């Protein structure tokens, strides 16, 4: 998520920056009426044309960046859950296969159990995975924050589907 957010805000910043060049010229031509507006429009056009050569590639690039960020927003989210699943398969199934708990049977990863033990919350799962709890080992040294966030989201999303 943070990756998408930074891409979007980055693209938005560039777009906003490009917008600053264009917007100030608009009030100048907008209030003008009749014949004079043709000249005004012409001068605005040539002004904009000269300016456009400097900002246009940037704006187009930013627009594509924003488009790509918007278009890929869903797949990126899906990929995070996919990565979460991969992390889960590699690091959690030893004790939590099928959402079960082979050590403390009642502390399953199913929604009912998570709710009962106050863990039906991505933040609480992140904390549990990072620091461990009881007989569950800590993963704070083994997994990066992104992998922990992904696996926590995977567990949370899977809780009512095991
Ligand atoms: C735990 O997950 C990480 C990240 O996907 C992976 O690199 C590592 O090999 C996994 N650990 C095990 C024991 O599979
Ligand atoms: C999980 O536990 C249930 C019973 O609580 C059992 O039926 C199921 O086979 C277990 N799943 C796995 C993958 O061990
Ligand atoms: C496990 O987590 C629960 C709820 O967050 C907490 O009350 C408890 O003290 C934790 N146990 C250990 C051993 O850290």
Tens digits of per-residue pLDDT, 93-136? Answer: 999 999 999 999 999 999 999 999 999 999 999 999 999 999 99
**Structure tokens, 60:** 């187009």
Instruction: Check if 147 has its Cβ closer than 6 Å to any atom of ligand 1.
Output: yes
Residue 124 CA: nearest ligand 3 atom is 5
Half-sphere exposure of 64 (CA within 13 A, CB side): 5
Q: Hey, what are 63's tokens?
A: 């627009």
Overall average pLDDT of the 25-34 stretch: 46
Domains, the chain, ordered by start:
2-72 (no CATH), 81-158 (1.10.760.10)
Mutational test site, ligand 3, from 133, 136, 137, max ligand atoms within 8 Å of CB: 133
Distance CA 137, CA 160 (A): 24
With pLDDT > 70 as the criterion, what percentage of the chain qualifies? 51
The verdict on the CB of residue 114 being under 6 Å from ligand 1 is no
Please report how the helices 145-158 and 122-131 are oriented relative to each other, as an axis angle in degrees rounded to 10: 130
| Tokens encoding 66 | 């924003």
Q: How far is the CA of 134 from the centre of ligand 3 (A)?
A: 7
**pTM assigned to the model:** 0.68
């Amino acid at each position: 998520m943070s990756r998408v957010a930074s891409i979007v805000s980055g693209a938005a910043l560039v777009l906003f920056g490009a917008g600053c060049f264009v917007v100030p010229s608009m009030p100048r031509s907008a209030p003008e009426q009749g014949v004079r507006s043709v000249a005004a429009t012409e001068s605005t056009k040539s002004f904009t044309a000269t300016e456009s050569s400097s900002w246009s590639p940037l704006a187009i690039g930013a627009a594509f960046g924003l488009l790509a960020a918007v278009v890929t927003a869903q797949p990126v989210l899906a990929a995070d859950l996919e990565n979460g699943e991969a992390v889960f398969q590699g690091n959690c199934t030893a004790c939590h296969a099928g959402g079960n708990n082979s050590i403390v049977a009642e502390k399953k990863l199913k929604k009912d159990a998570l709710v009962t033990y106050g863990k039906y919350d991505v933040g609480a799962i992140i904390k549990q995975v990072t620091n461990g709890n009881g007989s569950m080992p800590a993963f704070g040294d083994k997994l990066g924050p992104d992998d922990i966030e992904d696996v926590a989201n995977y567990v949370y999303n899977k809780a009512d589907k095991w």
